[in-house]
């Protein structure tokens, strides 16, 4: 059996672990996890060790990945789900520190995944999935760094879908935009929140996997921002036209 090849950037985070698990359980994928620590479920691991220099992190990750993939295969699905959250208004002393962290977690990983896509995405229907956020479609005064970083991911998504971006023709890029994901950490720090308005990790992963299994024409359009809006435990997709 010829397995599809998937890369999960952030494979040991809350959403990344569900991605790796579901991809493996499907029986159809060989999975490579990229993260600070190895994933026990993934077939191969690329470890991120360079945290202070974006260029060196890119070179290190792509160099390790080249040893696993090389010229032998195309990558069918690249899921970029690295990220995190930190708040801060302009009046707070740690706003720059927090913003730097948000940029490293969301923007560094997204552009590196774009580089991975340019080298290995399957030109016959490969999918690059990036992760934005609904709040970053507008102002985010209490979380400036988070808002800026996710807005940059939205812009990157649009740019990668344009001619000349370097992404192989025949592949596509789509960004998922959740409001709040139902993660253990979010439940820990927001125990009194309305969990019925949070989007389940399983739903996100199932949706992205379904997009990959569809033809390029049946997916959200190349470069689309797809909002995941949950109410009363039901999630609707608002797909950018």
Burial (0-12, 13-18, 19+ Cβ within 10 Å), 169: exposed
Per-residue pLDDT for the chain (241 aa), expressed as one digit of tens each? 568 999 999 999 999 999 999 999 999 999 999 999 999 999 999 999 999 999 999 999 999 999 999 777 799 999 999 988 888 899 998 999 999 999 999 999 999 999 999 999 999 999 999 999 999 999 999 999 999 999 999 999 999 999 999 999 999 999 999 998 878 888 887 887 888 888 899 999 999 999 998 877 889 999 999 999 999 999 999 998 6
pTM: 0.95
For residues 74 and 4, give the distance between their C-alpha atoms in angstroms, rounded to a whole number: 9
Q: What single string gives the DSSP state of each residue in 36-72? A: SS--SSSSEEEE----S-HHHHHHHHHHHHHHHTTTT
Backbone angles phi, psi at 42, to 5 degrees: -70, 155
Confidence at residue 1, expressed as pLDDT on a 0 to 100 scale = 57
Q: Do 106 and 149 touch, CB atoms closer than 8 A? A: yes
For residues 46 and 38, give the distance between their C-alpha atoms in angstroms, rounded to a whole number: 8
9 is catalytic: no
Q: How far is CA 36 from CA 49, 50, 59, 61, 229, in A?
A: 6, 9, 15, 11, 30
29-35: strand order across its sheet? 44-47, 29-35, 4-9, 77-80, 127-131, 172-178, 225-231, 234-239
For residues 46 and 234, give the distance between their C-alpha atoms in angstroms, rounded to a whole number: 35
| The two structure tokens encoding residue 133 | 């956020």
**Domain annotation for the chain: domains and CATH numbers:** 4-239 (3.40.50.720)
| The two structure tokens encoding residue 170 | 């025949």
Q: How far is CA 54 from CA 48, 69, 72, 108, 139, in A?
A: 11, 22, 27, 6, 27
Confidence at residue 174, expressed as pLDDT on a 0 to 100 scale = 98
Q: Do 30 and 13 touch, CB atoms closer than 8 A? A: no
Helix (H, G, I), strand (E, B) or coil at 139: coil
Burial (0-12, 13-18, 19+ Cβ within 10 Å), 240: middle
Helix (H, G, I), strand (E, B) or coil at 138: coil
Catalytic residue among 3, 9, 29, 146: 146
């Amino acid at each position: 059996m010829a397995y599809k090849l998937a890369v999960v950037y952030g494979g040991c985070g809350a959403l990344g672990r569900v991605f790796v698990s579901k991809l493996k359980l499907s029986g159809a994928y060989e999975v490579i996890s990229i993260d600070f620590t190895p994933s026990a479920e993934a077939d191969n691991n690329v470890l991120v060790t360079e945290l202070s220099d974006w260029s060196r992190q890119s070179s290190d990750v792509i160099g390790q990945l080249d040893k696993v993939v090389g010229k032998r295969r195309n990558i069918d699905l690249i899921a970029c789900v690295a990220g995190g959250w930190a708040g801060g208004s302009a009046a707070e002393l740690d706003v720059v520190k927090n913003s730097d962290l948000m940029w490293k977690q969301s923007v560094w990983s997204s552009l590196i995944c774009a580089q991975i896509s340019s080298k290995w995405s399957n030109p016959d229907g490969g999918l690059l999935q990036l992760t934005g956020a609904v709040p970053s479609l507008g102002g985010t005064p209490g979380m400036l760094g988070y808002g800026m970083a996710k807005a940059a991911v939205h812009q990157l998504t649009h740019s990668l879908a344009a001619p000349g971006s370097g992404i192989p023709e025949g592949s596509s890029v789509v960004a998922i935009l959740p409001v709040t994901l139902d993660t253990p950490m979010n439940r820990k720090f927001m125990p009194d929140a309305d969990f019925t308005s949070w989007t389940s990790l399983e739903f996100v992963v199932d949706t992205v996997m379904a997009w990959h299994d569809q033809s390029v024409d049946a997916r959200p359009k190349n470069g689309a921002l797809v909002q995941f809006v949950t109410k009363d435990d039901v999630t609707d997709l608002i797909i950018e036209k």
